[in-house]
Amino acid sequence: MFEFLFKYPLSIYRQGTFIFLAGWPIWLMGLGVLAAAGVLGFLIWRQSSGSTRMGVVRRTSVWVLQTALAALLLFLLWHPALSVSALKPQQNIVAVVIDDSTSMTTNDENSTRKEAAEKVLNGGLLKALQEKFQVRLYKMSDHAERIDKLEQLTAGATATHIGESLKQVAADASSLPIGAMILLSDGADNSGGVDLETLAEIRRQRIPVHTIGLGRETMSHDVEISNVDVASRALPESRLGATVSFHQHGYTGQKAKITLKEGSKIVASQDVTLKAEGTEQVETVLFNPGDAGVKTIEAAIEPFPNEENLRNNRVTRLVNVDARKPRLLYLEGEPRWEFKFLRRAVEDDKYIDLFSILRTAQNKLYRQEQKDGKQGLTNTNELKDGFPSTVEELFGFDGIIFGSVDAPYLTKNQQEMVKQFVDRRGGGVLFLGGKDSLSDGGWAKSVDADILPTVLPDRKNTYSFVGADVELTPAGQDSLITRIEEDPIKNVERWKKLPYIRTFQDPGEPKLGAVVLANFIPKEGGGVKRPLLITMNYGRGRSAIFATGGSWRWQMLQPLADMSHEMFYRQLLRWIVSDTPQHVTGSTPKSVLADESHVKLRAEVRDKTYLPASDAIVEAHITGEGAQQETVNMVPEPLEQGVYGADWTAPQAGSYIVEVVAKRGTEEIGRDTFTFRREDGVAENFHVEQNRELLQKLSAETGGSYYKPSDAQKLGKDINYSQAGITVRETRDLWDMPAIFLLFLGIRAAEWLLRRRWGVI
């Protein structure tokens, strides 16, 4: 329709420049319009002055229409035209890039995409191009490769990197007159899209990229997992959540089963109801990764019988279950039931060591240790004098719990050490409510007020023995700390039924960035909700307040078999310590490489006092499948103190274990082990729908156009216009556009109709 009205396709208008061929100055046309307006106005007023039917408004309307007509005539007199740059026939190259990845084997409407591409090219387009240009054929995967004929296409490449491929073709243009590129693809890029640098390079060379989109834009029956998020490290026997994001077409309202498997063993499964078509749905499936070791977790959605693509229903992730046993230090200021029952709640957790110091009497301390599920001090001299007074002693722990302890009990140095424990060491700190805790314990005036997740009230007597009920906040409903029932809905109900807590303490207002997981509602005094359980990340570590000393009732007032209290405290204490880093922490951005081999290794190295160690010698010892080993030196990252990096290429598919060792001279600072996995032949299984948006954007950004296969033959004509390659400037007349004729007729008809309506004809 556009071309019918405006004589030329839109692509020519985009590329062309609007000009007037008459050679007269434009201001003269403007003057002419003004003069015509003046004369017409005079004539209309003089002719209609005696007529009662032609009031001011009507005369003005007629004047406007006649002036418009005069303007249009003047416009035509000036001879409007379009100046376009056209490719010189036979002197330019057109690069035809055809997607050769496995997604092109997808069947759409009784033919594969590869077949559709061949049909478009063999259906006249290639011939039309070859008549005017030299045509270079390329097949595209994670790079572009020249081919001589279409028969060399295999649709077997395991990845699609459009940006990288076009960049290569554009690089040829620096030595060859490439006038345009034609990309035949479904746009299913695995590298995250076409980067700005590539676009800039193509734009700089003014090469338009015309895209022909292949394949359906949406599948009619498919469920696809977009992503799975799960912690890359965990303690043994933890409760982890795998957040599975997925979308579907064709199964709205139906039930699907998400399973998590480790090897052949199903570790968790959950039934979900599929939401609206195309919307991203997120479900969290809880699972226990088991004992120490590297766990390969496969998240899958059971396929439906008529599903079109079954290869996008499963995704693999790695979880490194740490063999280390974090140590928690619990300083309690007064013997009380909360102390007793907290220790009991976690005594069976073999993976957390709890060292407690209790102030039993003035100047008397009682030390206890729970380790490997057993009671008894490992070292009878450890912390004989109470709370650690050196950084090395304190930083040997992964987490701290303060019971009813007032801040002045610690020296200023110890208080500062606690702050550094969180900020620099990356440890976790939990404050419990108590008559000497929080505000009542003078913590508001301590340096440790900074690490608290709330702004403490500026008053005393914040601790109360009035009972209070507890309820989860929306954040608490999602949190694994407060998940005492697997099912989230049942969990909310379970919390509502917990016995009331014996005491509570006003913790103040949550800081920005703090998360309130549960509130308490006092049984007296109006029942105003206040935060009970609040968490926050601070520096490299984290802190929490559990503003009560009375949760022991969850144990005593519930049946013996009930494990709510145990589960809650175990999960809370694990949260305190799970992410506490050690002296060396190794990582990669992705634990699973999908059809890529490059991996960026990273290590963060801290010395004995957890200050960044920028002078360490760091090596990564990599062991792959079949026990092949390689050692890579890691070099300091320029902008990050204590951080070391290395690039490496995984030679084949499989799992790799990396042990990072950091030394200073001959002394070892520490070591860490992590894993990653390379998987081949998976990237192309996902996002197999035509990514029309990407293809359209690519062509729009480069001055090209997007075509469907059905109108791809037009490309034979449109491709003539480009600013790249060897071009010639051409002029296209616009005066004879049908749109101008219609406009002319329209103005005259409008005046006639108005006059007729007013009875002045």
Interface with another protein: number of residues (CB under 8 A)? 37
- Identify which of residues 241 and 467 has a Cβ nearer to another protein in the complex: 467
> Residues 115, 195, 298, 347: which binds another protein (CB under 8 A)?
347
Instruction: Kindly indicate which of the ranges 256-264, 548-556, 707-715, 735-743 contains the residues binding another protein, using the contact rule CB under 8 A.
Output: 548-556
> Residues 210, 247, 327, 359: which binds another protein (CB under 8 A)?
359
> Residues 24, 366, 741, 752: which binds another protein (CB under 8 A)?
366
Number of residues written out for the chain: 761
Q: Are strands 209-213 and 706-707 parallel, antiparallel or unpaired?
A: parallel
Instruction: Kindly indicate which of the ranges 249-257, 258-266, 389-397, 494-502 contains the residues binding another protein, using the contact rule CB under 8 A.
Output: 494-502
- Identify which of residues 355 and 421 has a Cβ nearer to another protein in the complex: 355
398 φ, ψ (degrees, to nearest 5): -105, -20
Based on the shown chain and the rule CB under 8 A, indicate whether residue 239 belongs to the binding site for another protein: no
Residues pairing with 211 in the sheet: 183, 706
To the nearest whole angstrom, how small is the minimum distance from the Cβ of residue 327 to another protein? Answer: 19
Q: Can you tell me which residue has the tokens 């591409």?
A: 117
To the nearest whole angstrom, how small is the minimum distance from the Cβ of residue 678 to another protein? Answer: 47
**According to CB under 8 A, which residues from 420 to 479 bind another protein?**
434-435, 465, 467
To the nearest whole angstrom, how small is the minimum distance from the Cβ of residue 560 to another protein? Answer: 5
Taking the C-alpha atoms of residue 355 and residue 353, their distance in angstroms, rounded to an integer, is: 6
> Residues 1, 361, 512, 639: which binds another protein (CB under 8 A)?
361
3-state class of 717 per DSSP?
Answer: helix
To the nearest whole angstrom, how small is the minimum distance from the Cβ of residue 557 to another protein? Answer: 5
Angle between the N-to-C axes of helices 26-48 and 56-77, in degrees from 0 to 180, rounded to the nearest 10? 150
| HSE-CB for 31 with a 13 A CA cutoff | 5
> Residues 364, 372, 380, 526: which binds another protein (CB under 8 A)?
364
Based on the shown chain and the rule CB under 8 A, indicate whether residue 493 belongs to the binding site for another protein: no
> Residues 237, 277, 298, 334: which binds another protein (CB under 8 A)?
334
> Residues 11, 248, 462, 503: which binds another protein (CB under 8 A)?
503
- Identify which of residues 361 and 528 has a Cβ nearer to another protein in the complex: 361
Based on the shown chain and the rule CB under 8 A, indicate whether residue 556 belongs to the binding site for another protein: yes
- Identify which of residues 20 and 337 has a Cβ nearer to another protein in the complex: 337
Based on the shown chain and the rule CB under 8 A, indicate whether residue 524 belongs to the binding site for another protein: no
- Identify which of residues 15 and 555 has a Cβ nearer to another protein in the complex: 555
Q: Give yes or no for a contact between 335 and 358, defined as CB atoms under 8 angstroms apart.
A: yes
Q: Which residues of 265-291 are buried (b: 16+ CB within 10 A; e: fewer)?
A: eebbebebebbeeeeebebbbbbebbe
Instruction: Kindly indicate which of the ranges 46-54, 72-80, 353-361, 662-670 contains the residues binding another protein, using the contact rule CB under 8 A.
Output: 353-361
Based on the shown chain and the rule CB under 8 A, indicate whether residue 360 belongs to the binding site for another protein: yes
Number of H helices, E strands in the chain: 18, 41
Q: Can you tell me which residue has the tokens 């064709």?
A: 250
Based on the shown chain and the rule CB under 8 A, indicate whether residue 549 belongs to the binding site for another protein: yes
Taking the C-alpha atoms of residue 340 and residue 348, their distance in angstroms, rounded to an integer, is: 14
Q: Give yes or no for a contact between 206 and 175, defined as CB atoms under 8 angstroms apart.
A: no
To the nearest whole angstrom, how small is the minimum distance from the Cβ of residue 549 to another protein? Answer: 7
H-only helix segments in 56-210: 56-77, 113-120, 126-132, 162-173, 196-204
DSSP 8-state assignment for residue 106:
-
Nearest to 242 by CA among 265, 266, 259, 256: 259
Based on the shown chain and the rule CB under 8 A, indicate whether residue 335 belongs to the binding site for another protein: yes
Taking the C-alpha atoms of residue 162 and residue 193, their distance in angstroms, rounded to an integer, is: 7
Based on the shown chain and the rule CB under 8 A, indicate whether residue 337 belongs to the binding site for another protein: yes
Angle between the N-to-C axes of helices 738-758 and 56-77, in degrees from 0 to 180, rounded to the nearest 10? 160
Q: Which residues of 90-107 are buried (b: 16+ CB within 10 A; e: fewer)?
A: eebbbbbbbbbbbbbebe
C-alpha to C-alpha distances, 662 to 323, 340, 392, 636, nearest whole angstrom: 19, 41, 19, 12
Cβ-based neighbours of 154, under 8 Å, separated by 6 or more: 100, 139
Based on the shown chain and the rule CB under 8 A, indicate whether residue 636 belongs to the binding site for another protein: no
Which token pair is 445?
């005036």
Based on the shown chain and the rule CB under 8 A, indicate whether residue 336 belongs to the binding site for another protein: yes
- Identify which of residues 153 and 407 has a Cβ nearer to another protein in the complex: 407
- Identify which of residues 503 and 587 has a Cβ nearer to another protein in the complex: 503
Q: C-alpha dihedral over 438, 439, 443, 449, to 10 degrees? A: 90
To the nearest whole angstrom, how small is the minimum distance from the Cβ of residue 434 to another protein? Answer: 8
Taking the C-alpha atoms of residue 207 and residue 703, their distance in angstroms, rounded to an integer, is: 8
Based on the shown chain and the rule CB under 8 A, indicate whether residue 172 belongs to the binding site for another protein: no
H-only helix segments in 121-194: 126-132, 162-173
- Identify which of residues 79 and 344 has a Cβ nearer to another protein in the complex: 344
- Identify which of residues 503 and 699 has a Cβ nearer to another protein in the complex: 503
Q: What is the largest CA-CA distance in the chain?
A: 119
Q: Give yes or no for a contact between 721 and 85, defined as CB atoms under 8 angstroms apart.
A: yes
Instruction: Kindly indicate which of the ranges 22-30, 194-202, 343-351, 441-449 contains the residues binding another protein, using the contact rule CB under 8 A.
Output: 343-351
> Residues 261, 419, 424, 553: which binds another protein (CB under 8 A)?
553
To the nearest whole angstrom, how small is the minimum distance from the Cβ of residue 371 to another protein? Answer: 14
Taking the C-alpha atoms of residue 388 and residue 417, their distance in angstroms, rounded to an integer, is: 9
> Residues 13, 63, 341, 546: which binds another protein (CB under 8 A)?
341
> Residues 499, 531, 642, 709: which binds another protein (CB under 8 A)?
499
Instruction: Kindly indicate which of the ranges 115-123, 264-272, 335-343, 383-391 contains the residues binding another protein, using the contact rule CB under 8 A.
Output: 335-343
Please name the helix (run of DSSP H) or strand (run of DSSP E) that holds residue 138, with its range, or none: strand 134-140
- Identify which of residues 403 and 624 has a Cβ nearer to another protein in the complex: 403
* The residue type at 551: S
Taking the C-alpha atoms of residue 349 and residue 326, their distance in angstroms, rounded to an integer, is: 11
To the nearest whole angstrom, how small is the minimum distance from the Cβ of residue 252 to another protein? Answer: 43
To the nearest whole angstrom, how small is the minimum distance from the Cβ of residue 495 to another protein? Answer: 16
Q: Give yes or no for a contact between 100 and 139, defined as CB atoms under 8 angstroms apart.
A: yes
Rg, C-alpha atoms of the chain = 37
Based on the shown chain and the rule CB under 8 A, indicate whether residue 45 belongs to the binding site for another protein: no
**According to CB under 8 A, which residues from 375 to 414 bind another protein?**
375, 404
> Residues 14, 143, 275, 344: which binds another protein (CB under 8 A)?
344
DSSP string for residues in 545-564: EE--S-TTHHHHTS-TT--H
Taking the C-alpha atoms of residue 652 and residue 664, their distance in angstroms, rounded to an integer, is: 33
Based on the shown chain and the rule CB under 8 A, indicate whether residue 527 belongs to the binding site for another protein: no
- Identify which of residues 49 and 362 has a Cβ nearer to another protein in the complex: 362
To the nearest whole angstrom, how small is the minimum distance from the Cβ of residue 520 to another protein? Answer: 16
- Identify which of residues 341 and 707 has a Cβ nearer to another protein in the complex: 341
Based on the shown chain and the rule CB under 8 A, indicate whether residue 522 belongs to the binding site for another protein: no
Based on the shown chain and the rule CB under 8 A, indicate whether residue 560 belongs to the binding site for another protein: yes
Residues that bind another protein (CB under 8 A): 333-337, 339-341, 343-344, 347, 358-362, 364, 366, 368, 375, 404, 434-435, 465, 467, 499-500, 502-503, 549, 552-553, 555-558, 560
